[in-house]
Every structure is written in C-alpha cells, then in structure tokens.
Amino acid sequence: MAADSAPTNLTHHFLIAMPGLTDELFGRSVVFMCEHSERGALGLVINKPSDILLPRLFEKVELQLHREDLLEQPVFQGGPVQTERGFVLHDAISGPEESVYASTLTIPGGLEMTTSKDVLEAMASGAGPRRVFVSLGYASWGQGQLESEIAENSWLTVPADADLIFEVPVAERYDRALALLGLQQPWMLSPDAGHA
C-alpha cells in the first residue's frame, strides 16, 4: 500500500447508518467506534436501548445500584457479538483512580471501555465514572469489512462527540449525529448516493 493511501483510522468516530440500511439492528443506528485498525474494527451502537434498566442488570450480577442518576438508564444493545457480555463506555479516569479497572481499553479522545465487573462494583457503591453508557454486546468488522461497507454507502463517518453519547436523549441521537455532518434531516441523504 502506498504511503499516500494509508488506511483511515475511525477510532473515536461515529458511524451513522445511511437511510438505505434497513437491517433490524443497524438501521438508523449510530455506532461509536472504540477501536479500528488494519485487523478490523469494534464499536458500540449508542442509540438502541434494550428493555432492561441498569438496576436489573446489576441484580443479575448480584450487585445493588446505589446511584440515583443511573436508576432509570437503559442497558443498550451494543451489537450482535457477545450479547451476554457487558461493556461500559465511560469518561477516562485520571488522577488517583487511573487504571483502576482490570479490563479497560483506552480510546484516544478521552473515553475508556471497561469489560470487567470491578467498574460495576464501583458504580454499585455510588462511585465509579460519572458518565457511563452500558451495553450488552458489541459490533465488529473483520479486516477490510468496514471499509468495504463505507465504500458501498452503508455508513457515514464523523468524529465523535462524547456529549452525544452521555447527554443527548436516545431518540435524538441519530438526527444529532447527522447534524455533526451539517445534515438536518435524514431525507437530505439519497440512499443511492454515489451511484450513477
């Protein structure tokens, strides 16, 4: 591969499903990309809540959630892979708590994704990261697969804004992600973009 055609790294970006993508899970989805390399990509769908609220998930792992700010927060359907496993996306921990969780992926741009129970234990005790997004499952793409889907006009990409993950109501996340691209409505996109 020539130096001028280096692969794009979409870590800390949003993938926004094009209107023509009608897949049940990925239709109208916004995916936060946690990792992207030449080997493949991993992300979490941030706008598909399940019918489970966080306190119920905590009960399943024999913990009781003591944070009022999280009692009504849903658990999200992060993607079709490992749907029985929890993923906690949160602000990066700095200072004395740095690297406190056992299995944490540091994502350039100020976020971390933790898969170990210790982050849930911290949250249960009323501590832990202030802003959290919890999903069951994740989305993944093999080597070259995501790039191929982007070339086929399945996804738009835009640098991620963490506030959209943690602060924006779920029902508004798709349209707000499009707005990051300067698009005000999904109908502004032709599902046939790029085809003559």
**137 near 83, Cβ under 8 Å?**
yes
- Domain 10-184 - what CATH class? alpha beta
| Distance, first Cα to last Cα, the chain | 28
What's the pLDDT score for residue 7? Answer: 59
The full DSSP string for 141-196 is E-TTHHHHHHHTTSEEEEE--HHHHHTS-GGGHHHHHHHHTT---GGGS-TTTT--
Residue 189 to residue 196: CA distance in whole angstroms = 15
Sequence spans of domains, the chain: 10-184
pLDDT digits (tens, 9 = 90+) for 119-168: 999 999 988 899 999 999 999 999 999 999 999 999 999 999 999 999 99
What's the pLDDT score for residue 3? Answer: 41
pLDDT digits (tens, 9 = 90+) for 48-98: 999 999 999 999 999 999 899 999 999 999 999 999 999 999 998 765 445
Whole-prediction pTM value? 0.89
